Amino acid sequence: MPVVLMKPRQNVRGFTYRGIVLEDAPAWSGGRRRPVGWPELRAIVQAQQPVLSAPEPGCVRLCAVCRGPSGAGSYRCFQCDLHEQSAAGSLADLVVPVAYAIKGAPHARRLWQYKSPRMSQAAAAGAGVILRAMLLVFLRDHGSCLWQAAGAPGGTHVAGRPTHVAVVPTARGRPGEHPLRALVHGYLAAPWTGLTARPGGEQVRDLDPERFTAGPVPGARVLLVDDTWTTGSSAQSAAMALRAAGARSVITVVLGRHLGGAADEAGLGPAGMPFRLGSCAVHQARAVGSRP
């Protein structure tokens, strides 16, 4: 597999990476190993840019929580408003999608291909290459945007960085390590905290403070990662479990905010709200893509 060379425990824009990043060999490389770094990882993401869309910072048409469509004159979408009414104060401090996952579009397909047992190993690995690059590049370039937007003490200062990382458990009770955690767990230096579904809890579709359990994390600042956000019930239930375990703050980063096939007509597709490497839903003005 090609190797992404990084310094051990490299601090980049308020986030810490550990050792090296191992990247799967693309089919066109013939399986040959070659060293690649941040420019190459960014190039992987940039190649997808024409078919991606992402929330525009400060857009009043978007839900202030999940960045999906909120409806005319509404601060939050229906689901996020319901969650706020039900569990104010125990949800994630901030939710930021890396991109939109529009039904039938390439990004939405990748988000099920990388973990689908029906896909060939090569196809799943190919989808994983892109998703891993998207997440790592996003954290590198926009990690400090997240900490500042969430009001983390110190912003890019060490006091504002996450102390733990967690992944939202699968809704299908898949045994073993979650595919998203398997994709990136070796590349992030912050310790991982486990989240598990209570028996039968993985089948729950509504917000439920007892749906998941987490190990003790007193005073922790947790980066919670998820692959797909549809209603947000899974991710917010996970945030509630982390709060119950003692987490002081939870920032949720989602690879794909699911949208229906009419997203283009609503102006949320690549033409109306294009994905930009240099921006994010809570972007803070500064140079992106420069040396750390």
151 in any annotated domain:
yes
Using one digit for the tens of pLDDT, what is the confidence trace for 80-138?
A: 999 999 999 999 999 999 999 999 999 999 999 999 989 998 999 999 999 999 999 99
Q: Which residue has the higher pLDDT, 65 or 187?
A: 65
- Residues spanned by the domain of 77: 52-105+141-263
Question: In sequence order, what DSSP letters do the residues of the chain get, joined into one string?
Answer: --EE---TTEEETTEEE-S-EE-PPPGGGTT---EE-HHHHHHHHHHHGGG-B-PPTT-TTB-TTT-SB--TT-SS-HHHHHHHHHHTTSS-SEEEEEEEEETTSHHHHHHHHTT-TTS-HHHHHHHHHHHHHHHHHHHHHHHHHHHHHTT-TTTTSGGGS-SEEEEPPPTT--SSS-HHHHHHGGGB-SPB--EEEPTTGGG--S--TTSEEE---TT-EEEEEEEEESSSHHHHHHHHHHHHTT-SEEEEEEEEEEE-GGGTTTT-STTTSB--TT--TT--SS--SS--
On the question of pLDDT at 54 being above 70, the answer is yes
Q: Using alpha carbons, select from 145, 207, 187 the residue that is nearest to residue 13.
A: 145
**pLDDT at residue number 18:** 60
**pLDDT at residue number 177:** 84
Q: Compute the distance between CA of residue 262 and CA of residue 264 in angstroms, rounded to an integer.
A: 5
On the question of pLDDT at 157 being above 70, the answer is no
Provide the pLDDT confidence category of residue 291 given band limits of 50, 70 and 90: very low
**pLDDT at residue number 90:** 94
- The amino acid sitting at 116 is S
Using one digit for the tens of pLDDT, what is the confidence trace for 165-181?
A: 999 998 665 667 899 99
**pLDDT at residue number 289:** 53
15 in any annotated domain:
no
Q: Compute the distance between CA of residue 90 and CA of residue 93 in angstroms, rounded to an integer.
A: 9
Using one digit for the tens of pLDDT, what is the confidence trace for 233-260?
A: 999 999 999 999 999 999 999 999 999 9
Q: Using alpha carbons, select from 100, 55, 44, 143 the residue that is nearest to residue 230.
A: 100
Q: What is the mean pLDDT of the chain?
A: 84
174 in any annotated domain:
yes
On the question of pLDDT at 292 being above 80, the answer is no
On the question of pLDDT at 142 being above 60, the answer is yes
> If you average pLDDT over residues 75-81, what whole number do you get?
94
Provide the pLDDT confidence category of residue 187 given band limits of 50, 70 and 90: confident
Q: Compute the distance between CA of residue 228 and CA of residue 56 in angstroms, rounded to an integer.
A: 18
Provide the pLDDT confidence category of residue 40 given band limits of 50, 70 and 90: confident
Q: Which residue has the higher pLDDT, 48 or 17?
A: 48
- The Cβ of residue 139 has, within 10 Å, a number of other Cβ atoms equal to 26
**pLDDT at residue number 14:** 61
38 in any annotated domain:
no
**pLDDT at residue number 228:** 96
67 in any annotated domain:
yes
268 in any annotated domain:
no
On the question of pLDDT at 2 being above 50, the answer is no
61 in any annotated domain:
yes
287 in any annotated domain:
no
> If you average pLDDT over residues 15-37, what whole number do you get?
53
Number of domains in the chain: 1
Distance from CA of residue 253 to its chain's centroid? 3
On the question of pLDDT at 36 being above 60, the answer is no
Provide the pLDDT confidence category of residue 190 given band limits of 50, 70 and 90: confident
Provide the pLDDT confidence category of residue 24 given band limits of 50, 70 and 90: very low
**pLDDT at residue number 150:** 86
